[in-house]
Structure 1
Amino acid sequence: MFTQELFPSRSQLELSDAATHRLREYFTALVQERRRAHGDDPVSAWLRTWDGLEADRAVADEAVYSLALFVLLAGLETTSHVLSTMVWLLLEHPRQLEWLRAHPEDIPSAIDEVLRYDAPIHMISRIAPEDTTLAGVRVHKDEMVQLMVGAAHHDPAKYDDPDLFNIHRRASPLSFGGGVHYCLGAPLARLEATSLLTALLERLPGLRISGSPVWAPRVAFRRLAKLTVAQA
């Protein structure tokens, strides 16, 4: 994750390099294992798909490795943030939490508001394929543009009272991207958030925050490092 931060330190990059090396060893071995014995798991399915598209098996294996690594990184980090932040925001707004307990049909809009108010990714990087002008700024071919999604979600021209957390808002967040870049795991992330929130409403009616939350020092990938709660 540190490699995708805005200004990673040398020590953070060293940690990222070491983690990437270990993950590459693990997933490369997994791809080779599934190559020898196909199963009904996602990696085996991706291998079958790529073998139908790519004659060079080494190229196909590398593509499946990249996909497996990306799905892991994209799914774990972002979803864990959405789940923990959802709990924090709703416990911080008990009247809205009680509304959801009485009106569970509004859970989808509450999840969208969490995704808007504090998105799991606040910054998306894009590289210009050609010279262009973006919002009056000249961007040259191959230059990188940082899209500040978190700021866009708090744009008063788009949202009334953008700094107000309001589950009754009908938000259309950019948290899952759009077009060809729309998140592959978006339906799963919404399902996980719905499952967690439904269980929390049913099983933990007296849950409350018992300590100040602690945030990881990040810009692009938000992370709630610690959230202490208690059950009354």
Structure 2
Amino acid sequence: MTAVDDIGGITIDRRAVISVLRRLRSLEGRTHPQPLWEELRSMGDVVPAPWGGYFVTGFEACSQVLRGRNWLVPDVAWQERQPDPERWQDVATQEMSHTLSRLNASAHTGQRRGLGNLFDRETLEALQPDVEDHVTRLLDALEEGLRARGEADFVTTVSEQLPIRTIGHWLGIAEENYAHILDITHRQVHAQELLPTRSELGVSAAATVQLRAFFTELVRQRRARPGNDVLSGWIQYWDARLPDDRAAADHVLYYLAMFVTIASLETTATLLSVAVWLLLEDPSRWRWLRHHPEHIDDAIDEALRYDPPIHLNTRIAADDTVLAGVPLAKDTVVHILYGAANHDPRRNENPHAFDILRNGSHLTFGGGAHYCLGAALARLEARTLLSHLLKRFPTLTPLTAPTYAPRMVFRRVTSLKVTT
């Protein structure tokens, strides 16, 4: 007998939901998730998850959750209230539960206040020359690879390198540490998947220990030798706020430096890779944008809408509520599906078409108190890269479609071979 749920007058077969989730994890699903998002959304705006909780698929429902004050992130307090709290006790999960992305109310507000407007116009203007320099050097390396071998991997040569160089230089991290940080980040992210396996949690735990060691030492060294960098400024702020508790200040500083760094790496790299792939996939798009560079920002927004770097995020109902006609009790878990929401035809007409001039809507950077801290920086990096890339490589061509890491939450392009 098939297990079913009846919500909002629609009967949903749990086996159908499980089938979609399995296919999303498959090679085909990772490469072309859009039809599967459509299949989930056809089941309703709020779809029961097989293990409890719900998937939220509609644009308006997702927006309501992201922006509503009665929705919380699954913080440590929520984890401790669960009937199986040991599920949340692995090292990597606990570590991420103390970062900004998993803080609610006063704790979140306090840390955000310490950061200020992290990437305001003045900061971005100051960063622009550095980003230009990073892009120039990376495209020099791309050109050298193309000249020597006739092909190059755009991901490993350019799109994974630009974010770590940008954020690393901004925080004053030595360049010889960039590869190490990238490696740790790729391994740590498993703990943030929807249903990580025990072996994946083990990989994440080992990476988390390395992250803690690196960024704890970074804070210690910067405290001993402060400079004009942003981390030195954070140290001054938190020392003044916690003058009698240096250990507490260092605790906050570690989480801020670690989170701001790793949060900006894979997501931005994926945006860069996906944007370039979507433009190169149809050569007419590349040619058109070369002649209409004033629409580069539109192309970036359409890439963000079409294939968001994060496909899923989780929120908790702070009180009994109703979402899209579905009654939800306090502490109910909902999983926001960014891709499904961005492809909701009620918000974006003909959503599966990539249209640079769409001027559509997307939720890719989230909303409300947890709106992405690095959104403006990601746009700056993407805009600068595409501006230079279109000028220097008018005949850039993909050799194969991109390959993707086997994930459901954090999208990662692992390879994109190109030639000219």
State the TM-score, normalized to the length of structure 2: 0.53
Give the C-alpha shift of residue 124 in structure 1. Answer: 1.2
User: Could you tell me which residue of structure 1 aligns to residue 340 of structure 2?
Assistant: 151
1:104-183 matched pairs, under 5 angstroms? 104-183=293-372
**Cα distance in 2, alignment partners of residues 136 and 33 from structure 1:** 54
Q: Counterpart of 1:225 in 2: which secondary structure?
A: strand
Asked if 1:34 corresponds to 2:222, the answer is yes
**Cα distance in 2, alignment partners of residues 198 and 218 from structure 1:** 30
Q: Counterpart of 2:322 in 1: which secondary structure?
A: strand
User: Could you tell me which residue of structure 1 aligns to residue 74 of structure 2?
Assistant: none
Task: Mark the runs of 5 or more structure 2 residues left unpaired by the alignment.
Answer: 1-188
Aligned residues: 231
Q: Which 4+ stretches in 1 moved above 3 angstroms?
A: none
User: Could you tell me which residue of structure 2 aligns to residue 58 of structure 1?
Assistant: 247
The structure with the greater share of residues assigned to helix is 2
**Cα distance in 2, alignment partners of residues 83 and 127 from structure 1:** 31
Give the C-alpha shift of residue 179 in structure 1. Answer: 2.2
Structure with higher RCO (Cα < 8 A, 6+ apart): 2
Of 226, 230, 233, 1:45 maps to: 233
**Cα distance in 2, alignment partners of residues 64 and 138 from structure 1:** 40
Q: Closer, same or farther in 2 for the Cα pair 1:33/1:140, shift >3 Å?
A: farther
Deviations 1:138-191 (A, max 9, x none): 333333321111110110111111000111110232111122212111111101
Percentage identity across paired residues of the two chains: 53
**Cα distance in 1, alignment partners of residues 337 and 301 from structure 2:** 18
**Cα distance in 2, alignment partners of residues 86 and 192 from structure 1:** 12
Task: Mark the runs of 5 or more structure 1 residues left unpaired by the alignment.
Answer: none
Deviations 1:29-65 (A, max 9, x none): 1112222222122221111122232342211111111
Q: Closer, same or farther in 2 for the Cα pair 1:37/1:117, shift >3 Å?
A: same
User: Could you tell me which residue of structure 1 aligns to residue 202 of structure 2?
Assistant: 14
Matched AA of 1:106: H
After superposing the two structures, state which structure 1 stretch, 101-110 or 208-217, moved more.
208-217
Q: Counterpart of 1:71 in 2: which secondary structure?
A: helix
User: Could you tell me which residue of structure 1 aligns to residue 280 of structure 2?
Assistant: 91
Asked if 1:188 corresponds to 2:377, the answer is yes
Give the C-alpha shift of residue 2 in structure 1. Answer: 1.1
Asked if 1:101 corresponds to 2:290, the answer is yes
Q: Counterpart of 2:273 in 1: which secondary structure?
A: helix
Instruction: Supply the RMSD in Å over aligned alpha carbons.
Output: 1.3
User: Could you tell me which residue of structure 2 aligns to residue 228 of structure 1?
Assistant: 417
Q: Closer, same or farther in 2 for the Cα pair 1:45/1:139, shift >3 Å?
A: farther
Asked if 1:211 corresponds to 2:394, the answer is no
Give the C-alpha shift of residue 131 in structure 1. Answer: 2.6
**8 Å Cα contact 1:109-1:171 kept in structure 2:** no
Matched AA of 1:66: Y
**8 Å Cα contact 2:347-2:361 kept in structure 1:** no
Matched AA of 2:196: P
Of 268, 280, 298, 1:79 maps to: 268
Give the C-alpha shift of residue 119 in structure 1. Answer: 0.4
**Cα distance in 2, alignment partners of residues 37 and 129 from structure 1:** 44
Q: Counterpart of 2:314 in 1: which secondary structure?
A: strand
Q: Closer, same or farther in 2 for the Cα pair 1:108/1:62, shift >3 Å?
A: same
**8 Å Cα contact 2:319-2:330 kept in structure 1:** yes
State the TM-score, normalized to the length of structure 1: 0.95
**8 Å Cα contact 2:404-2:413 kept in structure 1:** yes
Deviations 1:10-30 (A, max 9, x none): 111111111111000111111
Asked if 1:3 corresponds to 2:191, the answer is yes
